[in-house]
Structures are given as structure tokens and as C-alpha cells.
Amino acid sequence: MGHPNVKAIHSSKAVGEPPFFLASAVFFAIKDAIVAARAEVGCNDWFPLDSPATPERIRMACLDEFIAPIISSDFHPNLSV
């Protein structure tokens, strides 16, 4: 399995882990932005946000004045793949 890197922190890797965690940071930043948008319209309920966070899912989760008449706060879009 190779030689352990004695200079590494907690057996960290040099290639795979940073992009993975950076991508998850973007996903959760989007979710935090949706939480803020929903709070502006008085909706503080939990909501699902599946990955991938497509523009459709983000827009529908925001519940702004254009989306609210169309869907309810518990709307869950289908995977469009």
C-alpha cells in the first residue's frame, strides 16, 4: 500500500480530498443562501436540497414571490436526468 507520509496531517491525501471538500462547501453555501431567501419571506421550515443542486431546484427552494403561487413550501422536484 505504499509508505506512510510522516509529514502528512492525519493521513491526508494530496489529490482527492481538497476538491471533494471544496465541492461540498459550495453545495452548503448554496443551501445557506436558500435558507436566507426563505427566511426573508417568513418560511423557516426544513427543506430538502438533493444533489446535484440544479438551477431548477435552487429556484424552487427559494420560495420567492414568483414561485410561491405555483408550489407549496414542501415541494420536492423530481430528478431531471
Q: For the segment 4-23, what is each residue's pLDDT rounded down to a tens digit?
A: 667 666 665 566 667 777 88
8 vs 12: CA distance, rounded Å: 6
Q: How confident is the model at residue 1 (pLDDT cuts 50, 70, 90)?
A: low
Closest by Cα among 32, 36, 71 to 53: 32
Helices first, then strands: H and E counts in the chain: 2, 0
In which domain, by residue range, is 20 found?
16-81
pLDDT at 30 over 90: yes
Please indicate, yes or no, if residue 5 is contained in any of the structural domains: no
Number of domains composing the chain: 1
- 35 pLDDT band, cuts 50/70/90, is very high
* 17 classed as catalytic: yes
Q: What is the pLDDT of residue 39?
A: 93
pLDDT at 78: 66
Of residues 17, 40, 56, 65, which has the active-site annotation? Answer: 17
